[in-house]
Amino acid sequence: MKEIKIFHNALKDVSALASKIKENQKKIIGYLCSYAPEELIYAAGFHPMRLFSSKSDIILAENHLQTYCCSLVRGILEDSLSGRLDFLDGTVFPHTCDSIQRLSDIWRMQGRYEFFADVILPAKLNTQSARTYMVDVLTRFKKDLEAAINREITDADLQKSIKKFNLIRSNLSKIYALQSKKPGIIKGADLYAIVKGSMIMDKDEVANLLPVIVNNLEKTDAPETKGKRIVLTGSICDSPDIYSVIETAGGIIVGDDLCTGQRWFEGLTLEDDAPLVAIAERYMGRMICPAKHSSPTARGENIVSLARKNKAAGVVFLLLKFCDPHAFDYPYLKEFLEKEGIKTLLIEIDDQQQNLGQLSTRFETFIHYI
Ligand code: SF4
Ligand code: SF4
């Protein structure tokens, strides 16, 4: 499908993509985490772009971050220090895991880009006081953006932005629902490219392309070949090869609890509410990641419901090496899922190294067993 190819092409050269965005007079604000309030950044007239590591060798970042920080954070710092992110006009750091918080300190001290903001969101997301505090934090962030652009961000700006993101998110949800209903209708690597592309490409272009993809997939029949239905969980998966290896081993990805997947686009923002309250509500209601808290069993319940809803034969934990929040959650989640009769596999991944041969054997064994 030519629309899917556009997403794949966009991922090949992020600098070229950034130059194209800048041709339209848009400044680019980078972010590293799906708790970054993109609707606000977009309403301010900036282009919000999720940052990923270019996976180059870590040389300059060694002086700032220890080897036991995750490869995502180290890789992005390396890209910044070596000038690969010079297209950025600013960055936003939500207050989440320790690695992102430490990176935020280093980033601020380096002062390489014009705009910088820490968005200190609450850690607990299920209380009335957290809700009030969250709206307060978003209001402060809005003021930071207004100071940078020297104009007010109106409710109308925010509502327009919310509509755009709702359009993108609802279409991504439809693509996932179609894949779950007609497994194999779309390749995992295409799914990866569409979600990642939606995070970095021009939002108008994404909002135009996604409904066309949905429409085409709706008209496509489910493929004959069947595979074992798999749900992925973890922080990020920035490797299309992992999706391909799972498919070659006989699996089909039918859902995920990933930052580069449903966790990013799940849930719509109410369009007729006070915009900042509506944005806060979405964060409060969305599936949490281990850097946030709602109840001791919230994540377990969510993954079980994701697995059941998608009739998954198994759940694969993709654990980015040295990602402490996800590593701490893993033992309880594994136990929680297995008590519910859901089989699990743990795979440790690293942005810098990938042993696909070994991964392939492990996936084959797991998929044969479930
Ligand atoms: S796992 Fe949580 S803290 Fe980490 S990038 Fe995703 S949302 Fe942010
Ligand atoms: S992968 Fe883990 S440690 Fe790294 S930024 Fe995401 S949540 Fe933080």
CA of 116 to the centre of ligand 1 (A): 19
pLDDT at 351: 78
Q: Could you tell me if the CB of 53 is within 6 A of ligand 2?
A: no
CA of 26 to the centre of ligand 1 (A): 26
Structure tokens at 249: 């081993």
The rounded radius of gyration (Å) of the Cα atoms in the chain is 20
CA of 224 to the centre of ligand 2 (A): 38
Sign of CA dihedral 214, 219, 220, 222: positive
What are the distances in angstroms from CA 106 to CA 72, 109, 116, 155, 368?
A: 15, 5, 12, 34, 46
Q: Could you tell me if the CB of 235 is within 6 A of ligand 2?
A: yes
Alpha-carbon gap, residue 362 to 70, rounded angstroms: 23
Alpha-carbon gap, residue 370 to 368, rounded angstroms: 6
pLDDT at 219: 95
CA of 344 to the centre of ligand 1 (A): 21
Ligand 1 nearest atom to the CA of residue 259, by list position: 6
Structure tokens at 217: 């997939």
Q: Within 13 Å of residue 190, how many CA atoms lie on the same side as its CB?
A: 20
- Rounded to two decimals, what is the model's pTM? 0.94
CA of 235 to the centre of ligand 2 (A): 6
Residue 92 near residue 117, CB atoms below 8 Å = yes
Nearest CA to ligand 2 atom 8: 97
Ligand 1: residues whose CB is within 6 Å?
33-35, 96-97, 235, 259, 289, 291
Q: How many of the other CB atoms lie within 10 Å of CB of 60?
A: 14
Residue 360 near residue 248, CB atoms below 8 Å = yes
Beta-bridge partners for 257: 233
Instruction: Note down pLDDT in tens along the chain; length 370 residues.
Output: 899 999 999 999 999 999 999 998 889 999 999 999 999 999 999 999 999 999 999 999 999 998 889 999 999 999 999 999 999 999 999 988 999 999 999 999 998 999 999 999 998 888 999 999 999 999 999 999 999 999 999 999 999 999 999 999 999 999 999 999 999 999 999 999 999 999 999 999 999 999 999 999 999 998 887 799 999 999 988 888 899 999 999 999 999 999 999 999 999 999 987 999 999 999 998 888 898 888 889 999 999 999 999 999 999 999 999 999 999 999 999 999 999 999 999 999 887 777 788 889 999 999 999 8
What is the distance, to the nearest Å, from the Cα of residue 52 to the centroid of all Cα atoms in its chain?
Answer: 10
> Which amino acid is located at 178 in the chain?
L
Q: Could you tell me if the CB of 327 is within 6 A of ligand 2?
A: no
Alpha-carbon gap, residue 269 to 196, rounded angstroms: 20
CA of 98 to the centre of ligand 1 (A): 11
Ligand 1 nearest atom to the CA of residue 289, by list position: 2
Domains and CATH numbers, the chain: 15-153 (3.40.50.11890)
Phi, psi angle pair for 293, to nearest 5°: -135, 135
Structure tokens at 175: 């693509």
Measured distance between the N- and C-terminal CA atoms of the chain, rounded to whole angstroms: 32
Nearest CA to ligand 1 atom 1: 235
3-state secondary structure of 204: helix
User: Which ligand has the nearest atom to the CA of 125?
Assistant: 1
Q: Could you tell me if the CB of 234 is within 6 A of ligand 2?
A: no
Contacts of 59 (CB under 8 A, 6+ apart): 78, 82
CA neighbor of 27 nearest in space, from 91, 74, 110: 91
Q: Could you tell me if the CB of 65 is within 6 A of ligand 2?
A: no
